Chain A
Amino acid sequence: MNCEDVELELSGNEPSVEARVHLAGCVSCQETSKLLGLAALPPLTQTERMVLNGLAPSTQQLWRAQRTRGAGLRRGASLLMAAGLGALIASALIKPATVISEPLVRTVMVTAPEIPVLDFEEANLSDDEVFFEVGWPSPTEGDL
Protein backbone atom coordinates (compact mmCIF):
# COMPACT_ATOMS: atom_id res chain seq x y z
CA MET A 1 0.00 0.00 0.00
CA ASN A 2 1.49 3.34 -1.04
CA CYS A 3 0.87 6.89 0.18
CA GLU A 4 -1.71 7.61 -2.53
CA ASP A 5 -3.80 4.60 -1.56
CA VAL A 6 -3.64 5.65 2.08
CA GLU A 7 -4.65 9.19 1.14
CA LEU A 8 -7.76 7.84 -0.60
CA GLU A 9 -8.59 5.68 2.39
CA LEU A 10 -8.09 8.54 4.82
CA SER A 11 -10.70 10.56 2.93
CA GLY A 12 -13.32 7.95 3.79
CA ASN A 13 -14.81 7.05 7.11
CA GLU A 14 -12.62 4.29 8.50
CA PRO A 15 -9.18 3.42 7.09
CA SER A 16 -8.27 -0.24 6.87
CA VAL A 17 -5.77 -1.93 9.24
CA GLU A 18 -3.20 -1.93 6.45
CA ALA A 19 -3.62 1.81 5.95
CA ARG A 20 -3.32 2.47 9.68
CA VAL A 21 -0.08 0.47 9.83
CA HIS A 22 1.31 2.53 6.95
CA LEU A 23 0.12 5.76 8.59
CA ALA A 24 1.93 4.98 11.84
CA GLY A 25 5.28 4.95 10.09
CA CYS A 26 4.80 7.61 7.37
CA VAL A 27 5.22 11.33 8.15
CA SER A 28 3.75 12.46 4.82
CA CYS A 29 0.57 10.43 5.40
CA GLN A 30 0.34 11.78 8.95
CA GLU A 31 0.43 15.28 7.47
CA THR A 32 -2.29 14.31 5.02
CA SER A 33 -4.39 12.91 7.83
CA LYS A 34 -4.02 16.11 9.83
CA LEU A 35 -4.85 18.25 6.79
CA LEU A 36 -8.00 16.28 6.00
CA GLY A 37 -9.07 16.61 9.62
CA LEU A 38 -8.61 20.39 9.47
CA ALA A 39 -10.38 20.71 6.13
CA ALA A 40 -13.42 18.71 7.19
CA LEU A 41 -16.39 20.68 8.47
CA PRO A 42 -17.48 20.22 12.09
CA PRO A 43 -20.58 18.12 12.81
CA LEU A 44 -23.96 19.74 12.19
CA THR A 45 -25.00 22.13 14.96
CA GLN A 46 -28.34 22.06 16.74
CA THR A 47 -29.47 25.04 14.67
CA GLU A 48 -28.55 23.29 11.43
CA ARG A 49 -30.43 20.16 12.52
CA MET A 50 -33.51 22.27 13.15
CA VAL A 51 -33.17 23.88 9.73
CA LEU A 52 -32.90 20.43 8.15
CA ASN A 53 -36.04 19.22 9.93
CA GLY A 54 -38.14 21.95 8.37
CA LEU A 55 -36.58 21.75 4.95
CA ALA A 56 -38.92 19.29 3.20
CA PRO A 57 -42.22 21.07 3.97
CA SER A 58 -40.84 24.54 3.27
CA THR A 59 -39.31 23.42 -0.05
CA GLN A 60 -42.59 21.76 -1.02
CA GLN A 61 -44.39 25.01 -0.24
CA LEU A 62 -41.94 26.97 -2.38
CA TRP A 63 -42.39 24.50 -5.25
CA ARG A 64 -46.18 24.88 -5.10
CA ALA A 65 -45.92 28.68 -4.97
CA GLN A 66 -43.54 28.64 -7.91
CA ARG A 67 -45.87 26.42 -9.92
CA THR A 68 -48.93 28.51 -9.08
CA ARG A 69 -47.07 31.65 -10.10
CA GLY A 70 -45.90 29.96 -13.29
CA ALA A 71 -49.42 28.75 -14.09
CA GLY A 72 -50.78 32.26 -13.42
CA LEU A 73 -48.22 33.80 -15.73
CA ARG A 74 -48.99 31.22 -18.43
CA ARG A 75 -52.73 31.83 -18.05
CA GLY A 76 -52.19 35.60 -18.22
CA ALA A 77 -50.03 35.27 -21.30
CA SER A 78 -52.58 33.06 -23.09
CA LEU A 79 -55.40 35.47 -22.16
CA LEU A 80 -53.38 38.35 -23.60
CA MET A 81 -52.70 36.39 -26.76
CA ALA A 82 -56.38 35.46 -27.11
CA ALA A 83 -57.39 39.08 -26.59
CA GLY A 84 -54.89 40.24 -29.19
CA LEU A 85 -56.09 37.68 -31.68
CA GLY A 86 -59.71 38.64 -31.01
CA ALA A 87 -58.91 42.31 -31.56
CA LEU A 88 -57.16 41.48 -34.81
CA ILE A 89 -60.11 39.48 -36.13
CA ALA A 90 -62.60 42.09 -34.96
CA SER A 91 -60.69 44.91 -36.64
CA ALA A 92 -60.64 42.95 -39.89
CA LEU A 93 -64.39 42.36 -39.72
CA ILE A 94 -65.50 45.79 -38.54
CA LYS A 95 -63.33 47.99 -40.75
CA PRO A 96 -65.23 48.78 -44.00
CA ALA A 97 -63.54 47.75 -47.12
CA THR A 98 -62.19 50.85 -48.85
CA VAL A 99 -61.83 50.78 -52.60
CA ILE A 100 -58.65 52.36 -53.80
CA SER A 101 -59.47 54.25 -56.97
CA GLU A 102 -57.08 54.49 -59.86
CA PRO A 103 -55.23 57.83 -59.96
CA LEU A 104 -56.49 60.18 -62.67
CA VAL A 105 -53.80 61.00 -65.20
CA ARG A 106 -54.28 63.95 -67.57
CA THR A 107 -51.99 65.25 -70.25
CA VAL A 108 -51.70 69.03 -70.44
CA MET A 109 -49.99 70.98 -73.16
CA VAL A 110 -47.57 73.54 -71.74
CA THR A 111 -45.92 76.32 -73.71
CA ALA A 112 -42.53 77.54 -72.59
CA PRO A 113 -42.51 81.16 -71.28
CA GLU A 114 -40.67 83.77 -73.30
CA ILE A 115 -37.27 84.59 -71.89
CA PRO A 116 -36.04 88.17 -72.53
CA VAL A 117 -32.69 88.38 -74.28
CA LEU A 118 -30.16 90.12 -72.04
CA ASP A 119 -27.07 91.81 -73.44
CA PHE A 120 -24.13 91.18 -71.11
CA GLU A 121 -21.38 91.97 -73.59
CA GLU A 122 -20.98 95.58 -72.60
CA ALA A 123 -21.46 95.13 -68.92
CA ASN A 124 -18.26 94.96 -66.85
CA LEU A 125 -18.85 92.10 -64.43
CA SER A 126 -15.26 91.61 -63.33
CA ASP A 127 -14.76 90.80 -59.62
CA ASP A 128 -11.60 92.91 -59.58
CA GLU A 129 -13.48 95.98 -60.42
CA VAL A 130 -16.04 95.37 -57.68
CA PHE A 131 -13.36 94.88 -55.04
CA PHE A 132 -11.41 97.84 -56.35
CA GLU A 133 -14.42 100.06 -56.03
CA VAL A 134 -15.05 99.24 -52.37
CA GLY A 135 -11.39 99.53 -51.54
CA TRP A 136 -10.65 95.91 -50.67
CA PRO A 137 -7.63 94.18 -52.09
CA SER A 138 -8.40 91.99 -55.04
CA PRO A 139 -8.32 88.22 -54.33
CA THR A 140 -6.25 87.79 -57.44
CA GLU A 141 -3.60 90.32 -56.39
CA GLY A 142 -2.28 88.57 -53.37
CA ASP A 143 -3.16 86.65 -50.26
CA LEU A 144 -5.95 87.92 -48.13
Chain B
Amino acid sequence: MRAFSAGDSAAFGLLIKRHQETVFRVVRRYARSADEARDLTQRAFLQAFEAAERAMPKLAADEEPVPFKAWVLRIAVNLGKNHVRDSSRWVMTSVAAVDAERPSLPVPQEALEQAEQAALTRRAVLELPSRQREVFTLRIDAGLPFAEVASTLGITEGNAKAHFHHAVKRLKEEVAKLSTPGGAP
Protein backbone atom coordinates (compact mmCIF):
# COMPACT_ATOMS: atom_id res chain seq x y z
CA MET B 1 0.00 0.00 0.00
CA ARG B 2 2.82 2.39 0.87
CA ALA B 3 4.54 1.49 -2.42
CA PHE B 4 1.32 2.36 -4.27
CA SER B 5 1.16 5.63 -2.40
CA ALA B 6 4.71 6.39 -3.51
CA GLY B 7 3.55 6.02 -7.11
CA ASP B 8 4.64 2.43 -7.76
CA SER B 9 2.25 1.22 -10.48
CA ALA B 10 3.30 -2.41 -10.00
CA ALA B 11 2.09 -2.19 -6.41
CA PHE B 12 -1.26 -1.02 -7.71
CA GLY B 13 -1.67 -4.12 -9.87
CA LEU B 14 -0.44 -6.34 -7.06
CA LEU B 15 -3.00 -4.94 -4.63
CA ILE B 16 -5.81 -5.58 -7.09
CA LYS B 17 -4.64 -9.10 -7.88
CA ARG B 18 -4.35 -9.91 -4.19
CA HIS B 19 -7.93 -8.95 -3.36
CA GLN B 20 -9.85 -9.05 -6.63
CA GLU B 21 -11.31 -12.52 -6.26
CA THR B 22 -12.60 -11.88 -2.74
CA VAL B 23 -14.18 -8.59 -3.81
CA PHE B 24 -15.62 -10.16 -6.94
CA ARG B 25 -17.15 -13.02 -4.94
CA VAL B 26 -18.83 -10.49 -2.64
CA VAL B 27 -20.33 -8.31 -5.37
CA ARG B 28 -21.48 -11.12 -7.68
CA ARG B 29 -24.34 -11.85 -5.31
CA TYR B 30 -25.68 -8.36 -6.00
CA ALA B 31 -24.94 -8.27 -9.73
CA ARG B 32 -26.96 -9.76 -12.55
CA SER B 33 -24.07 -10.55 -14.86
CA ALA B 34 -20.32 -11.01 -14.89
CA ASP B 35 -19.96 -7.58 -16.48
CA GLU B 36 -21.95 -5.92 -13.71
CA ALA B 37 -19.85 -7.74 -11.12
CA ARG B 38 -16.69 -6.51 -12.85
CA ASP B 39 -17.94 -2.90 -12.85
CA LEU B 40 -18.81 -3.09 -9.17
CA THR B 41 -15.41 -4.62 -8.37
CA GLN B 42 -13.61 -1.88 -10.27
CA ARG B 43 -15.62 0.84 -8.55
CA ALA B 44 -14.85 -0.71 -5.18
CA PHE B 45 -11.12 -0.64 -5.92
CA LEU B 46 -11.16 2.90 -7.28
CA GLN B 47 -13.02 4.19 -4.23
CA ALA B 48 -10.69 2.29 -1.91
CA PHE B 49 -7.63 3.77 -3.64
CA GLU B 50 -9.11 7.25 -3.32
CA ALA B 51 -9.77 6.66 0.37
CA ALA B 52 -6.25 5.31 0.80
CA GLU B 53 -4.73 8.36 -0.88
CA ARG B 54 -6.63 10.66 1.45
CA ALA B 55 -5.81 8.68 4.58
CA MET B 56 -2.17 7.86 3.80
CA PRO B 57 -0.53 10.98 5.25
CA LYS B 58 -2.27 10.51 8.60
CA LEU B 59 -1.67 6.75 8.73
CA ALA B 60 1.95 7.19 7.75
CA ALA B 61 2.43 9.82 10.46
CA ASP B 62 0.90 7.52 13.06
CA GLU B 63 2.82 4.54 11.65
CA GLU B 64 -0.42 2.58 11.47
CA PRO B 65 -0.97 -0.25 8.98
CA VAL B 66 -3.30 0.51 6.08
CA PRO B 67 -6.42 -1.68 6.32
CA PHE B 68 -6.87 -1.77 2.55
CA LYS B 69 -8.64 -5.14 2.40
CA ALA B 70 -11.18 -4.09 5.01
CA TRP B 71 -11.79 -0.83 3.14
CA VAL B 72 -12.28 -2.40 -0.23
CA LEU B 73 -14.58 -5.10 1.14
CA ARG B 74 -16.69 -2.65 3.08
CA ILE B 75 -16.99 -0.47 -0.01
CA ALA B 76 -17.87 -3.55 -2.09
CA VAL B 77 -20.68 -4.56 0.29
CA ASN B 78 -22.08 -1.02 0.25
CA LEU B 79 -21.84 -0.74 -3.52
CA GLY B 80 -23.60 -4.08 -3.90
CA LYS B 81 -26.37 -3.03 -1.55
CA ASN B 82 -26.82 0.31 -3.36
CA HIS B 83 -26.74 -1.43 -6.70
CA VAL B 84 -29.67 -3.64 -5.74
CA ARG B 85 -31.54 -0.64 -4.34
CA ASP B 86 -30.95 1.51 -7.42
CA SER B 87 -31.66 -1.20 -9.92
CA SER B 88 -35.34 -0.87 -10.72
CA ARG B 89 -35.07 -3.62 -13.29
CA TRP B 90 -33.98 -6.09 -10.64
CA VAL B 91 -35.81 -9.30 -11.39
CA MET B 92 -33.42 -12.13 -10.83
CA THR B 93 -30.43 -12.71 -8.63
CA SER B 94 -26.95 -12.85 -10.04
CA VAL B 95 -26.99 -16.56 -9.57
CA ALA B 96 -29.95 -16.93 -11.84
CA ALA B 97 -27.99 -14.95 -14.39
CA VAL B 98 -24.91 -17.07 -13.84
CA ASP B 99 -26.98 -20.20 -14.17
CA ALA B 100 -28.38 -18.86 -17.41
CA GLU B 101 -24.86 -18.85 -18.80
CA ARG B 102 -24.55 -22.57 -18.28
CA PRO B 103 -25.56 -24.91 -21.10
CA SER B 104 -29.13 -26.06 -20.63
CA LEU B 105 -29.16 -29.82 -20.41
CA PRO B 106 -32.15 -31.95 -19.56
CA VAL B 107 -32.29 -32.09 -15.76
CA PRO B 108 -34.30 -34.36 -13.51
CA GLN B 109 -37.26 -32.99 -11.53
CA GLU B 110 -35.34 -33.20 -8.26
CA ALA B 111 -32.55 -31.03 -9.60
CA LEU B 112 -35.07 -28.46 -10.84
CA GLU B 113 -36.70 -28.30 -7.43
CA GLN B 114 -33.34 -27.86 -5.79
CA ALA B 115 -32.43 -25.07 -8.21
CA GLU B 116 -35.70 -23.36 -7.40
CA GLN B 117 -35.07 -23.67 -3.67
CA ALA B 118 -31.58 -22.30 -4.13
CA ALA B 119 -32.98 -19.30 -6.01
CA LEU B 120 -35.49 -18.69 -3.21
CA THR B 121 -32.79 -18.90 -0.56
CA ARG B 122 -30.46 -16.54 -2.40
CA ARG B 123 -33.27 -14.05 -2.83
CA ALA B 124 -33.97 -14.32 0.88
CA VAL B 125 -30.29 -13.52 1.58
CA LEU B 126 -30.68 -10.22 -0.27
CA GLU B 127 -33.66 -9.37 1.87
CA LEU B 128 -31.89 -9.91 5.19
CA PRO B 129 -31.44 -6.86 7.44
CA SER B 130 -28.37 -4.89 6.42
CA ARG B 131 -25.88 -6.00 9.09
CA GLN B 132 -26.94 -9.66 8.95
CA ARG B 133 -26.56 -9.67 5.18
CA GLU B 134 -23.13 -8.05 5.37
CA VAL B 135 -21.89 -10.62 7.87
CA PHE B 136 -23.48 -13.49 5.96
CA THR B 137 -22.02 -12.54 2.57
CA LEU B 138 -18.57 -11.80 3.94
CA ARG B 139 -18.55 -15.18 5.66
CA ILE B 140 -20.20 -17.32 2.97
CA ASP B 141 -19.21 -15.57 -0.27
CA ALA B 142 -15.85 -14.10 0.65
CA GLY B 143 -15.00 -16.94 3.02
CA LEU B 144 -13.55 -14.62 5.64
CA PRO B 145 -12.95 -15.89 9.19
CA PHE B 146 -15.29 -14.30 11.74
CA ALA B 147 -12.44 -12.23 13.17
CA GLU B 148 -11.86 -10.66 9.75
CA VAL B 149 -15.58 -10.19 9.12
CA ALA B 150 -15.70 -8.32 12.43
CA SER B 151 -12.70 -6.11 11.66
CA THR B 152 -14.04 -5.34 8.20
CA LEU B 153 -17.36 -4.16 9.57
CA GLY B 154 -15.92 -2.55 12.68
CA ILE B 155 -17.76 -4.82 15.13
CA THR B 156 -16.63 -7.45 17.63
CA GLU B 157 -16.16 -11.09 16.67
CA GLY B 158 -18.92 -12.15 19.06
CA ASN B 159 -21.22 -9.63 17.47
CA ALA B 160 -20.41 -10.94 14.01
CA LYS B 161 -21.21 -14.49 15.13
CA ALA B 162 -24.48 -13.36 16.67
CA HIS B 163 -25.46 -11.59 13.45
CA PHE B 164 -24.62 -14.74 11.51
CA HIS B 165 -26.76 -16.86 13.81
CA HIS B 166 -29.71 -14.46 13.44
CA ALA B 167 -29.23 -14.43 9.68
CA VAL B 168 -29.42 -18.24 9.50
CA LYS B 169 -32.48 -18.29 11.74
CA ARG B 170 -34.22 -15.67 9.66
CA LEU B 171 -33.31 -17.39 6.41
CA LYS B 172 -34.84 -20.63 7.65
CA GLU B 173 -38.07 -18.80 8.47
CA GLU B 174 -38.14 -16.90 5.20
CA VAL B 175 -37.43 -19.94 3.07
CA ALA B 176 -40.11 -21.93 4.90
CA LYS B 177 -42.54 -19.05 4.27
CA LEU B 178 -41.61 -18.76 0.60
CA SER B 179 -41.70 -22.51 0.02
CA THR B 180 -45.26 -22.89 1.26
CA PRO B 181 -47.98 -22.50 -1.42
CA GLY B 182 -49.15 -18.89 -1.54
CA GLY B 183 -46.12 -17.74 0.42
CA ALA B 184 -43.99 -16.90 -2.59
CA PRO B 185 -44.09 -13.27 -3.82
**A-side interface residues toward B, CB under 8 Å?**
4, 7-8, 11-13, 31-32, 35-36, 38-42, 44-45, 47-48, 51-52, 55-60, 62-63, 66
Contacts and interface: CB of A to CB of B under 8 A. Distances in A.
A144 to B, nearest CB: 65
Nearest to B14: A56
B156 to A, nearest CB: 15
A60 B95 contact: no
Central interface residue in B122, B141, B168, by most chain A CB within 10 Å: B168
Given A7-B168, A42-B98, A56-B13, A48 B24 contact: yes
22 contacts: A8-B164, A32-B172, A35-B121, A38-B118, A39-B124, A39-B171, A40-B141, A41-B95, A42-B98, A45-B101, A45-B102, A47-B101, A48-B34, A51-B35, A51-B37, A52-B20, A55-B24, A55-B38, A58-B42, A59-B41, A62-B46, A63-B45
A56 B45 CA distance: 10
B168 to A, nearest CB: 6
A86 B8 CA distance: 38
Instruction: Indicate the size class of the contact surface on chain B.
Output: 35 or more
Nearest to B135: A11
B165 A42 contact: no
Nearest to A36: B140
B9 interface: yes
A63 B16 CA distance: 12
Q: Most B CB atoms within 10 A — which of A32, A52, A57, A66?
A: A52
B20 A55 contact: yes
A35 B171 contact: yes
A61 to B, nearest CB: 10
Given A57-B13, A62-B42, A48 B37 contact: yes
Contacts of A38: 114, 117-118, 120-122, 175
Interface in B25-53: 25, 28-29, 34-35, 37-38, 41-42, 45-46, 49
A56 to B, nearest CB: 4
Interface of A is mostly: helix
B168 A51 contact: no
Nearest to A32: B168
Contacts of A35: 121, 168, 171-172, 175
A40 B9 CA distance: 35
B140 A11 contact: yes
A11 B139 CA distance: 7
A48 B98 contact: yes
B93 to A, nearest CB: 9
A63 B41 CA distance: 13
Q: Which 6 A-B pairs have the closest CB atoms?
A: A38-B121, A56-B16, A38-B118, A51-B38, A39-B121, A56-B13
Contacts of A63: 12, 45-46, 49
